[in-house]
Amino acid sequence: MSRVIVVGGANTDLTVKASHLPRSGETVFGDEFAVSYGGKGANQALAALKAGAPVAFLARIGTDTYGKRLYDHLVRSGLPPEGLVRDSDHPAGLALIALDREGNNQIIVVPGSNNRLNVEDLRSCEPLMREGSLLLTQLEIPFPTVKHALRLAKDHGMTTILDPAPARSLPETIYGMVDILTPNEIEAGSLTGIPVNTPSDAEKAASVLRSRGCASVIITMGSQGALLSWAEGVRFFPAFHVVSIDTVAAGDAFNGALAAALAEGRVLSEALSFAMAAGALSTTKRGAQESLPTRKDIEGVLDG
């Protein structure tokens, strides 16, 4: 199997659970506190790794206390240290999360060193990129870095996947460098101005996105399923039925598994089914990286 290259951000999540969320000026006593790891780039890299692909993750991580623990976690999880650029001037990314008993949340993200991942970092990691057949990236890092990663990948003949999250506008010039665009329904609506509530809406939005230069577009729609628009036409894939308890990182599980399946040579439609099974499975467990399914679990859903 060819290597998957993921370029993106990594965070430490500090989560406090309390009876209710504080109002302005209010102090609330928490019931539980947990430290975990996240960031879309790190989640997707580990999702691809657990789905069976060799993976290199290119990221910038501070050398502060949280950064050291995050770096150790990523390396211990199986990602090569060569892609993890250390930053002694900026702390690693943090997400501060408050949850109430109903699951409502308040989140403050401090990007830290994620915002410093730059073109020179990618150039220093270019030997790793030469080993890859597929690039997966997102929008939690500076956009010039995303754009350079896509261009560098195309120069090396790699397939490119862009998960356009968090939702933001994209310049027209970027679409031609993207082989597979994977927005969810909210992101597809933001990119096209077409509210996406039904498969028919998704087909219209995908047509607009493909007209801008993307070879293929996959719009994920949660429990409704996913729509694939590509050179062979349009196809809707119904969702796998699972008992969902937490949708955190479901999109990351989907994108990582999609990259892994494509890297081993599966055709896009088959890879999409594999990815949808991974995304569905991730919703049956709580947490982000804790919920990412193994290849064996994904294949079990497909065989069942």
Radius of gyration of the chain, Cα coordinates, nearest whole angstrom: 19
The pTM assigned to this predicted structure is 0.95
Spatial CA neighbour of 73 closest among 294, 288, 297, 299: 288
The predicted structure's pLDDT at residue 218: 98
The predicted structure's pLDDT at residue 126: 87
The predicted structure's pLDDT at residue 85: 97
| Residue 123, CA atoms < 13 Å, CB-side half-sphere | 3
* pLDDT by position in tens, the chain (length 304): 689 999 999 999 999 999 999 999 999 999 999 999 999 999 999 999 999 999 999 999 999 999 999 999 999 999 999 999 999 999 999 999 898 888 788 889 899 999 999 999 999 998 888 889 999 999 999 999 999 999 999 999 999 999 999 999 999 999 999 999 999 999 999 999 999 999 999 999 999 999 999 999 999 999 999 999 999 999 999 999 999 888 889 999 999 999 999 999 999 999 999 999 999 999 999 888 999 999 999 999 998 7
The predicted structure's pLDDT at residue 1: 63
Spatial CA neighbour of 109 closest among 187, 38, 192, 32: 38
d(CA 230, CA 227): 10
d(CA 48, CA 240): 19
**Sheet of 180-181: strands edge to edge?**
84-87, 55-62, 3-7, 132-137, 159-162, 180-181, 216-220, 226-230, 233-237
d(CA 168, CA 202): 18
The predicted structure's pLDDT at residue 52: 97
Tokens of 166: 């968090």
Token match 């702390």: residue? 91
Q: Can you give the residue ranges of every domain in the chain? A: 3-10+38-92+112-303
Q: Are 110 and 93 in contact (CB under 8 A)?
A: yes
Q: Are 58 and 42 in contact (CB under 8 A)?
A: no
* Phi, psi angle pair for 259, to nearest 5°: -60, -45
d(CA 4, CA 298): 18
Tokens of 80: 């090569």
The predicted structure's pLDDT at residue 252: 96
Cβ count within 10 A of residue 161:
27
Ramachandran quadrant class, 193 (left: phi over 0; alpha: psi -120 to 50; beta: rest): left
CATH topology of domain 3-10+38-92+112-303: UDP-N-acetylmuramoyl-L-alanine:D-glutamate ligase (3.40.1190)
Q: Which residue numbers are catalytic?
A: 252
Overall residue count recorded for the chain in this entry: 304
